[in-house]
Structure 1
Amino acid sequence: MDIAKTASDWARFELHSAAVFIAFGLAFALAGLGFRQLGTTDMARAYVIPMLVAGGLLLILGGGLFFPAQARLATVPTALGGDPAGFVAAEIARADKVLNDYRIAVFRVFPAIIALCAMAIPFLDGPLWRASLITAIAMVTALILVDSTAHARLGAYRAQLSLAEGFGHP
């Protein structure tokens, strides 16, 4: 089993996840600009600010994931070459922490946010409130989509690391 290839592949997948967040961010920002230019009703105009804010947040999130993943991809061979057993142990510990964070955020907190926003829509009648809640639901749904696939990939990566650790030679 080639741990360097496995770790590099996982870092590349993280780059792809970051690119998807950036794409969602651009889509939200463009939608906000489209509502600004083409929106004729109060409800359509109310989407401008929430869509731009959601787009900005997703762009920041994508950039915040892209640059560390890119740096990680460059340092995998040197980190593995110095202490392979230590690298595998550190990666397993990191993967366990991130998997736990995913279990809490992606599978508990995000669905709760969606439910709260959905329940608040009928009670808040202002166009800006409704647009903000609907945009929040859309943004959190995008987060769940990307992070649930990242969770599955990280689980597979963690399993491969466990196999390498079990063989005693990464």
Structure 2
Amino acid sequence: MDILKASTDWAKAELFSTPFFILFGVIFIAASLGFWQLGKTDMARAYIIPTLVAGSLLVIIGLGLFFTNKSRITEFKKAYNSDTTTFVTSELQRTQSTLNEYKNVVFTAVPIIIAACALFILFINTPIWRASMITTIAMLVVILLIDGTAHARIDVYQKQLLAVEKELKK
């Protein structure tokens, strides 16, 4: 198995996936501008700041992940060519750390935050708080959708790394 190709393919798939954060961020920002221009009710106007903040956060997340993964493609080649065993070991550690983060943050904390926001909506009638909680839920759902596919990709990549590690130990 060519682990350098697998690593590069994984990073390229991430490069395809991360712009979706930016796309959804732009949609949230456009919604904010729409609420600002067209919002007539207190509830509609309450969405201006929360959607702007959520959109900005999604754009920042997307840009950060994009440039991080873009730089990995060239780093992979250098690290692989200098020492394959060290490359595989470091990638296994990184993928395991990332999978643990997905488990703890994305698939545990995010659903808890969504549930807390939903409960908050039931008990608070202030438009700004309701708009903030609804926007937070929407933003976190976007994160869950995108990170769900990223989790599946990195899980497959880690299995490829484990197979290569076995081959190297022979």
TM-score in terms of structure 2 length: 0.97
* 1:46-61 correspondence runs (5 A): 46-61=46-61
* 1:80-91 correspondence runs (5 A): 80-91=80-91
* 1:8-157 correspondence runs (5 A): 8-157=8-157
Runs (5+) with no aligned partner, structure 1: none
- Alignment: residue pair count: 169
Shift of 1:17: 2.4
Runs (5+) with no aligned partner, structure 2: none
Which residue number corresponds to residue 5 of structure 1? Answer: 5
Distance 1:56 1:44 in 2: 19
- Percent same amino acid at aligned positions? 50
Give the 3-state SS of the residue equivalent to 2:125 in structure 1.
Answer: coil
TM-score in terms of structure 1 length: 0.97
Distance 1:51 1:92 in 2: 37
Distance 1:17 1:124 in 2: 36
- After TM superposition, where is structure 1 displaced by more than 3 Å over at least 4 residues in a row? none
Distance 2:57 2:90 in 1: 30
CA deviations 1:75-94 (Å, max 9, x no partner) are: 21111000011100100010
CA RMSD of aligned residues (A): 1.0
